[in-house]
């Protein structure tokens, strides 16, 4: 326990390390068509099978010359053309130039391309007087300038971005070897939860967590299996856990892990696996369950994460605690949490010492180019609007109390998966 830890509460870093230490990445791989590969994680280093560009080519529309030919004259007659995809293949007489287009192969012996705008064409005679002096290799993109044959282009463990797809296409690679996405089954628990599109009766609310969990799991690179809403009924819950375990590497629930219900869920899960109920030193998001569901005939053991039911807590714990676990499982070894950045507060932030707060805030650059943050207002763990209107988490240290205007705090921009 560190100097500022609160007895009975598990520090966030400890919880994340315990979770990471208890799992191994998925080792099944598949060959994926490049146009379907974005968001998948490479299971092998990707090396270039070729030089890029594969031949010396022109960076400009203009004229290919031999610089030596311009030592005695500024006018050279045209001797041919080289277009992109249709190179000049003839004999290139000394003392002449070749019309060349961007991307076209430069003819053998060419040591510079002069851009069209620096020349004057008089019929078949080209005047280069405006282009002097000509530098060796100017406007020529040499073979292998970007990537040499055999070079490492993307490492194993890299999650493919939209920018990587044209990169790999440049190399002529139609299929890539990637890890299978983790299968994550999830369901909401609670008698009060009703599907969208129905009319609410007294005491009922709509099941919003499941929508958030699904979309985030997909953004995190998982295959999301939606098992719906399960009422607070022991028999139905047990069936749901069994069904989830048979289909998925990870089972995620929301609700039913706070003090009132923990024992109930605990009994059930103790029967089906090994479950720890943790109190995390995090606000919101204190009640959290982590463990394993035992292997069955259908499938090897599954990881279990029980998110608190309060909507802000559910999404926050999924983002802060479960996201690193899913990244490791997916083989995404480059994954990193967003860095903490300093900012000055322009509003006060209410806080009690004891837990690390992830308050929802709005950052912006002030006129001096420095970051400022303000609160989104109501920070109740049930008030989801605070999450929707935020663009960052203001991360207030465990031992800190109320923050006044003008103090320095750390904030964390949302990762692209949260947009």
Q: Which residues bind ligand AMP (CB under 6 A)?
A: 188, 190, 192-193, 205, 207-210, 254-258, 261, 308-311, 382
User: What angle in degrees, to the nearest 10, is found between the helix axes of 234-247 and 259-272?
Assistant: 50
CB 216 within 8 A of CB 175: no
Among ligand AMP, Mg ion, none, the one that 258 touches (CB under a kind-dependent 5 to 8 A) is ligand AMP
Q: Minimal distance in Å, beta carbon 318 to ligand AMP?
A: 12
Pairing of strands 97-100, 75-82: parallel
- Distance from chain centroid for Cα 23: 21
DSSP classification of residue 118: G
Interacting span for Mg ion (CB under 5 A) from 12-20, 48-56, 254-262, 338-346 = 254-262
Among ligand AMP, Mg ion, none, the one that 417 touches (CB under a kind-dependent 5 to 8 A) is none
Q: Minimal distance in Å, beta carbon 229 to ligand AMP?
A: 7
- The answer for residues whose C-beta is within 8 angstroms of residue 397's C-beta and 6 or more apart is 4, 356, 410
Q: Minimal distance in Å, beta carbon 259 to Mg ion?
A: 12
**Closest-CA residue to 269 (of 244, 303, 293, 295):** 293
Residues 17-27 as b/e (b if ≥16 CB within 10 A, e otherwise) read: eebeeebebbe
**Alpha helices of 208-335 — where are they, by DSSP H?**
209-219, 234-247, 259-272, 311-317, 323-329
Among ligand AMP, Mg ion, none, the one that 284 touches (CB under a kind-dependent 5 to 8 A) is none
CB 116 within 8 A of CB 60: yes
373: left (phi over 0), alpha (psi -120 to 50) or beta: beta
d(CA 194, CA 178): 38
Among ligand AMP, Mg ion, none, the one that 310 touches (CB under a kind-dependent 5 to 8 A) is ligand AMP
**Closest-CA residue to 254 (of 318, 183, 203):** 318
Q: Minimal distance in Å, beta carbon 314 to ligand AMP?
A: 7
Q: Minimal distance in Å, beta carbon 146 to Mg ion?
A: 56
Q: Minimal distance in Å, beta carbon 302 to ligand AMP?
A: 20
Residue at shortest CB range from ligand AMP = 309
Closest CB to ligand AMP among 182 and 309?
309
DSSP classification of residue 327: H
Among Mg ion, ligand AMP, none, the one that 139 touches (CB under a kind-dependent 5 to 8 A) is none
Among Mg ion, ligand AMP, none, the one that 209 touches (CB under a kind-dependent 5 to 8 A) is ligand AMP
Interacting span for Mg ion (CB under 5 A) from 15-23, 194-202, 255-263, 322-330 = 255-263
Closest CB to ligand AMP among 146 and 218?
218
Instruction: Report if residue 255 touches Mg ion, rule: CB under 5 A.
Output: yes
Among Mg ion, ligand AMP, none, the one that 221 touches (CB under a kind-dependent 5 to 8 A) is none
DSSP readout, 155-204? -TTPBPPTTHHHHHHHTT--EEEEEPPPEEEEEEE-TTEE-TTS---TT-
Among ligand AMP, Mg ion, none, the one that 75 touches (CB under a kind-dependent 5 to 8 A) is none
Interacting span for Mg ion (CB under 5 A) from 31-39, 187-195, 205-213, 396-404 = 187-195
CB 326 within 8 A of CB 250: yes
Which H or E run includes 125?
strand 125-127
CB 141 within 8 A of CB 57: yes
Closest CB to ligand AMP among 258 and 415?
258
Q: Minimal distance in Å, beta carbon 287 to ligand AMP?
A: 7
Output the furthest CA–CA distance in the chain (Å, rounded).
Answer: 95
> Partners of 173 in the beta sheet?
none
Q: Minimal distance in Å, beta carbon 319 to Mg ion?
A: 21
Interacting span for Mg ion (CB under 5 A) from 20-28, 185-193, 322-330, 382-390 = 185-193
Which H or E run includes 98?
strand 97-100
Closest CB to Mg ion among 233 and 271?
233
Q: Minimal distance in Å, beta carbon 189 to Mg ion?
A: 6
Interacting span for Mg ion (CB under 5 A) from 45-53, 75-83, 188-196, 298-306 = 188-196
Among Mg ion, ligand AMP, none, the one that 273 touches (CB under a kind-dependent 5 to 8 A) is none
Among Mg ion, ligand AMP, none, the one that 6 touches (CB under a kind-dependent 5 to 8 A) is none
Residues in the site for Mg ion, rule: CB under 5 A?
Answer: 190, 255-256, 309
């Amino acid at each position: 326990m560190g100097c500022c830890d609160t007895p009975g509460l598990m520090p966030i870093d400890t919880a994340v390390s315990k979770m990471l230490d208890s799992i191994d990445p998925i080792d099944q791989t598949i060959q994926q068509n490049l146009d379907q590969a974005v968001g998948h994680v490479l299971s092998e280093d990707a090396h270039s099978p070729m030089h890029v560009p594969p031949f010396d080519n022109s960076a400009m529309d203009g004229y290919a010359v031999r610089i030596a030919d311009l030592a005695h004259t500024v006018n050279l007659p045209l001797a041919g053309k080289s277009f992109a995809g249709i190179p000049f293949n003839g004999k290139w007489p000394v003392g002449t130039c070749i019309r060349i287009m961007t991307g076209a192969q430069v003819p053998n012996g060419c040591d510079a391309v002069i851009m069209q705008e620096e020349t004057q064409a008089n019929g078949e005679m080209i005047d280069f007087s405006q282009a002097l002096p000509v530098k060796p290799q100017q406007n020529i993109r040499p073979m292998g300038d970007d990537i040499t044959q055999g070079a490492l282009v993307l490492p194993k463990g890299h999650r493919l971005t939209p920018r990587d797809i044209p990169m790999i296409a440049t190399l002529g690679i139609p299929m890539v070897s990637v890890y299978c996405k983790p299968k994550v089954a999830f369901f909401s628990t609670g008698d009060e939860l009703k599907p969208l599109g129905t009319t609410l009766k007294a005491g009922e609310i709509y099941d919003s967590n499941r929508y958030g969990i699904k979309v985030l799991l997909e953004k995190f690179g998982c295959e999301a299996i939606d098992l719906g809403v399960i009422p607070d009924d022991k028999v139905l819950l047990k069936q749901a856990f069994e069904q989830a375990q048979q289909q998925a590497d990870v089972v995620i629930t929301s609700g039913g892990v706070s003090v009132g219900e923990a024992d109930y869920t605990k009994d059930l899960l103790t029967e089906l696996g090994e479950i720890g109920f943790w109190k995390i030193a995090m606000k919101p998001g204190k009640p959290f369950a982590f463990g394993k569901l035992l292997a069955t005939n259908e499938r090897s053991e599954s990881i279990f994460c029980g998110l608190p039911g309060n909507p802000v807590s559910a999404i926050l714990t999924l983002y802060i605690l479960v996201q690193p676990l899913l990244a490791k499982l997916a083989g995404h070894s480059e994954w990193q949490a967003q860095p903490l950045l300093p900012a000055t507060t322009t509003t006060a932030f209410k806080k009690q010492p004891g837990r690390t707060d992830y308050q929802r805030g709005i950052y912006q650059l002030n006129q001096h180019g420095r970051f400022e943050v303000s609160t989104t207002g109501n920070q109740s763990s049930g008030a989801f609007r605070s999450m929707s209107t935020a663009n960052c988490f203001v991360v207030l240290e465990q031992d800190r109390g109320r923050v006044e205007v003008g103090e320095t705090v750390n904030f964390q921009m949302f990762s692209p998966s949260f947009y």
